[in-house]
Chain A
Amino acid sequence: MQLGSEAVAIDDSHRELEQEFLTFTLGPEEYAIDILKVQEIRGYDTVTAIANAPKFIKGVINLRGTIVPIVDLRIKFGIGNVEYTPFTVVIILNLAERVVGVVVDSVSDVIGMTPEQIRPAPNFSSQVGASFIRGLGTVDERMLIVVDIERLMLAPEMALIDEATA
């Protein structure tokens, strides 16, 4: 996992300024997140529910001995069909020394984008707070919503961390 991201980092330095993104879908929308934040991708497994947690926090799983909370972004953003099938995917993210899993509809691919390809997002209201959107990327007619996943996940509204430490 660490190795993987380093390999990407090296690769990255060859293509100037181009950054790699993992893209995933939530309903009809396509999102992109910085691939360096991604630790691994795995299937959705049984989670242990946590009492009095917001609905979008499905619970915690055991990831090789670490307790990892799972967030269903579909519930959080209110898009996509919330159902859990063998094909439901969890992206395990590594953010600021924390590990968090997010449930998405599906993972599409890894693409490289230069900063020029990412346009600032116009002002609009959405479930995803505008401050978490780094911009809109365009790749072959596809529009990708580039999300600053770290800021999003660590935001107080995600209720993933204690207020004191937030």
Chain B
Amino acid sequence: MAIDMSQFYQVFFEEAAEHLASIENLLVSMDVDAPDAEDLNALFRAAHSIKGSSGTFGFNDMTEVTHVMETLLDMVRKHEKPLTSDIIDACLEAGDVLRNLLAAHMGEDQADADAATAVSQRLQALCEAGSADAGNASAGAEESVPAGGNRFRIRFRPDAASRQRPETLDNLVEELGRLGQVQRFDRDSDDGEGLCCIVIESTHALTAFEGVVDFVAESGSVVVEPLADADGETEEEAYGFFEPASADSGAEEEAYGFFGDEPVAPASAVDDEVVSDDGSYGLFAAPAVAPSGADDEAPDGSYGLFAKAAATTAVSAAAPAAAVEASAKSEQVAPVKNAGAAPKKPAAARASGDSSIRVSVEKVDQMINLVGELVITQAMLTQSAEGLDPVLYERLMNGLVQLERNTRDLQESVMSIRMLPISVVFSRFPRVVRDVSKKLGKQVELKTIGEGTELDKGLIERISDPLTHLIRNSLDHGIESPEKRRAAGKSEIGTITLKAYHQSGNIVIEVGDDGAGLNRDKILSKARERGLDASDTMSDAEVWQLIFEPGFSTADQVTDVSGRGVGMDVVKRNIASMGGRVDIDSMGGVGTRMTVRLPLTLAILDGMSVGVGAETYIIPLNYVVESLQPGPNMMRSVSGVDSLIQVRGEYLPVISLREYFGVDGACADWRKGIMVILEADGTKIALFVDQLIGQHQVVIKSLEANYRRVGGISGATIMGDGRVALILDAAALVGQSRKTLAVAA
């Protein structure tokens, strides 16, 4: 029965995207000189997972790219190839290509097949290029291994179970690796007997291996024998010429001839399996020399030994030229063979880390609403039980108290599901900074602060593009070139600071740089050029806002990165569509800071509830400085109307919430209410309310979803009793008072 795979596509898309993200993170954070083995493994696993699942779903273009990438990573993690920044770049590029392919499969983008081919070739070239070195390196390494132990050859016939599951043999090799250095591993040698052969160098006693091998071998088939030394072995049997230890120049000559005439050597090598295993040791570049004589055997005899031989003794003058040809030849061979070897390691290591599950956002939202209902029901029950005699109904009362506690806990944990730390977004910026600064020839360090700041998943998805743009902008226009920085007496390494924090129902994300700052005159002259309304009397803040005008750019040159003047207006529009805004602070020579303020649609807000008439309003707590009951002589009047209050030597304008919102009912007497002192953007006001009710953590609900924006209100929330309370927009209230004062003045 055919299974419709498409139903699983979504899962694949999500998973692949996650793997790509983690690949990128790992690559960017990788220390080229001293890569963490665990990271390398994680990298490999991620590439492997993408390859596996894309293959399953028939997305072959992705499989091809990941395949080569995986091969390369596999070499790196096995230390057959040193990690270079070239490899990292190539893998990053591959990641981008994969992302494009993924988007294409999701129907969001056009697949760029050329890019895919190009990156595959680049990776392939890296696989190849390194292998000669790797061959040398590993040969060297083995040579340099102190003669710490004896060499053994283990031969055995795998039992039926392990014949069916090749990975058991890999496990075996791994296991043996703990006892000593596995130098050789052939499975199913071509003698038709299915014998496996392992050569190991170890300080352990012979019997130690038997115990390990017994698990996978047919009983009685295990033969462990000590090997005398490398030379003897070489002569004795074909496997031996793999041993680079024997590569003194005499041996090479010998080996050469030996290659040509000795039928034994090719015989053992012909076997595909054997080759594939060897291939994964990175010794493929070997054919370099082979063409000089043994044309036919070349692919089979492609063992590292000869590459080294060529290098050290220059046996054949034609070697360098031949090497190119040969490696081209082996290019076709290597990937295919490696394919067999590489994917066998997968699952074992994957087990860890799968501690999350995938749930659709709708389900979570539904849950949040249901819990909200539950809380209201609970409040209702508590209210109805209030009239009961606590002595008679003790158990009921206890139950209700417990219910209340449990519902609160439940509500809290459900709320937290939708929230994600902003590190999800921040984590992609090291890559951006790295790429762009490289391209621009600048040295830039990225600092992130407050990655743990949580915000709603929906916002996370939408904030990433605008932020990327701001960062690119900072990199291109903000940070100066190292020379200029030096001239200005600054460190050559520029710093871009990403900072996130909560401020009164907003999430604030700052993108700051310590670059040159915005150039006021330049912006003004550009603005005039473009026919924008710009005058010299404009405040700095107003001038900075000009850069958000469509098509505005002060860049003298259009670069790859920015300068086309497309973008900042889009950034502003995007952020505005989320109900946020962008502010710019800049100081010449010191730097520029872009501050993005976004409302938290689903954020939990610490609020103070105040009563005015019959209505309850929530004031975001972080705007509140203090609350006080005004004394009679604190009120000061301006032009006959009480409108200022003197608090600790300061005169603050008073806004009556009752008047502001036109609430019915009278409590106009200043002395009977409460003054709540609010501060926003450095300005303080006193808000006059009837009473303080309490402090709550409230969930911000959007009024705009079904209604519209209301002046002075930033959102709404649902109180414990199920009623809606409006959340004050404290910043707007403060701004309002500033405006009225200005008018009065």
In the complex, what distance in Å separates the CA atom of A65 from the CA atom of B662? 26
B398 within 8 A of A: no
Per-residue interface assignment for chain B, residues 643 to 674, with 1 indicating a CB less than 8 Å from any chain A CB and 0 otherwise: 00000000000000000111100000000000
Q: What residues of A have a CB within 8 angstroms of the CB of B369 in the complex?
A: 64-66
Q: Whole-angstrom distance from the CB of A163 to the nearest CB of chain B?
A: 8
A42-50, A132-140, A143-151: which lies at the B interface? A42-50
Q: Is the CB of A52 within 8 A of B662?
A: yes
**A16 close to B (CB within 8 Å):** no
Is the pair B708, A159 in contact by a Cβ cutoff of 8 Å? yes
A162 surroundings in chain B (CB, below 8 A): 704, 708-709
What A residues does B705 contact at CB under 8 A? 66-67, 98
Q: Is B567 an interface residue (CB 8 A)?
A: no
Q: Is A100's CB under 8 angstroms from B706's CB?
A: yes
Binds A, one of B441-449, B468-476, B498-506, B717-725: B717-725
In this assembly, does B693 line the interface, its C-beta being within 8 Å of a C-beta of chain A?
Answer: no
Chain B residues whose CB sits within 8 angstroms of the CB of A49 once the complex forms: 615, 663
Which residues on B sit within 8 Å (CB–CB) of A60? Answer: 703, 707, 716, 724
Q: Are A48 and B372 in contact (CB under 8 A)?
A: no
Pair A64/B373 contact, Cβ less than 8 Å: yes
B99 within 8 A of A: no
- CB-CB < 8 A to A46: which residues of B? 723
The residue among A48, A61, A161 with the most chain B CB atoms within 10 A of its own CB is A48
Contacting residues, chain A, for B712 (C-beta < 8 A): 51
B702 contacts chain A at the CB level, 8 A cutoff: yes
B706 lies within 8 A of A69 (CB): yes
Nearest-CB residue, chain B, relative to A100: B706
A60-B724, A67-B702 known; A160 vs B708 contact (CB < 8 Å):
yes
Q: Tell whether, in the assembled complex, residue A67 and residue B615 are in contact, meaning their CB atoms are under 8 Å apart.
A: no
Partner of B706, one of A48, A64, A98: A98
Choose one: B368, B703, B709, B722; the contact of A67 (CB below 8 Å): B703
B713 at the interface (CB under 8 A from A): yes
Partner of A66, one of B370, B706, B713, B725: B706
Q: Does B711 contact A (CB under 8 A)?
A: yes
Chain A residues with Cβ below 8 Å from B376 are: 62
Q: Are A52 and B661 CB-contacts (below 8 A) given A46-B723, A62-B723, A64-B373?
A: yes
Contacts of A61 in B (CB 8 A): 724
Choice from A50, A65, A160 contacting B726 with Cβ under 8 Å: A50
Question: Could you tell me if B725 and A48 are in contact, using CB atoms closer than 8 angstroms?
Answer: yes
Contact of B722 among A50, A62, A99, A161 (CB under 8 A): A62
Contact A67 B708, CB 8 Å, known A48-B726, A61-B724: no
Contact of B615 among A48, A69, A159 (CB under 8 A): A48
* Residues of chain A lying within 8 A (CB to CB) of residue B153: none
Contacts of B373 in A (CB 8 A): 64-65
Q: Which residues in B have their C-beta under 8 angstroms from that of A52?
A: 661-662, 710-711
Q: Does B701 contact A (CB under 8 A)?
A: yes
A53 at the interface (CB under 8 A from B): yes
Instruction: Determine whether the beta carbon of B706 is less than 8 Å from that of A68.
Output: yes
Query: CA A61 – CA B369 in complex, angstroms?
Result: 14
Please indicate the chain B residues that have their CB under 8 angstroms from the CB of A59 in the complex.
Answer: 724
User: Are A67 and B713 in touch, CB under 8 angstroms?
Assistant: no
Assess the A161–B708 pair: CB atoms within 8 A.
yes
B421-451 Cβ-contact flags toward A at 8 Å (1 or 0): 0000000000000000000000000000000
Q: Would you call B661 and A67 a contact (CB within 8 A)? A: no
Measured between C-beta atoms, what is the minimum distance from A148 to chain B in Å?
Answer: 19
Candidates A65, A69, A99; contact of B372 at CB < 8 Å: A65
Contacts A48-B716, A52-B711, A162-B708 given: A66-B701 contact, CB under 8 Å? Answer: yes
**A50 and B710: CB pair below 8 A?**
yes
25 chain-A/chain-B pairs, Cβ below 8 angstroms: A48-B716, A48-B725, A50-B713, A50-B726, A51-B662, A51-B663, A51-B712, A52-B661, A52-B710, A60-B703, A61-B724, A62-B724, A64-B372, A65-B369, A65-B373, A66-B701, A66-B705, A67-B716, A98-B705, A98-B706, A99-B706, A100-B706, A161-B708, A162-B704, A162-B708
Counting from the closest, the 10 A-B pairs by CB-CB distance are: A65-B369, A51-B661, A48-B724, A69-B707, A65-B372, A162-B708, A62-B718, A67-B716, A67-B701, A98-B706
List residues of chain A with CB under 8 Å of any chain B CB: 46-53, 59-62, 64-69, 98-100, 159-162
Instruction: Give residues in B with beta carbon < 8 Å to A.
Output: 368-370, 372-373, 376, 615, 660-663, 701-713, 716, 718, 722-726
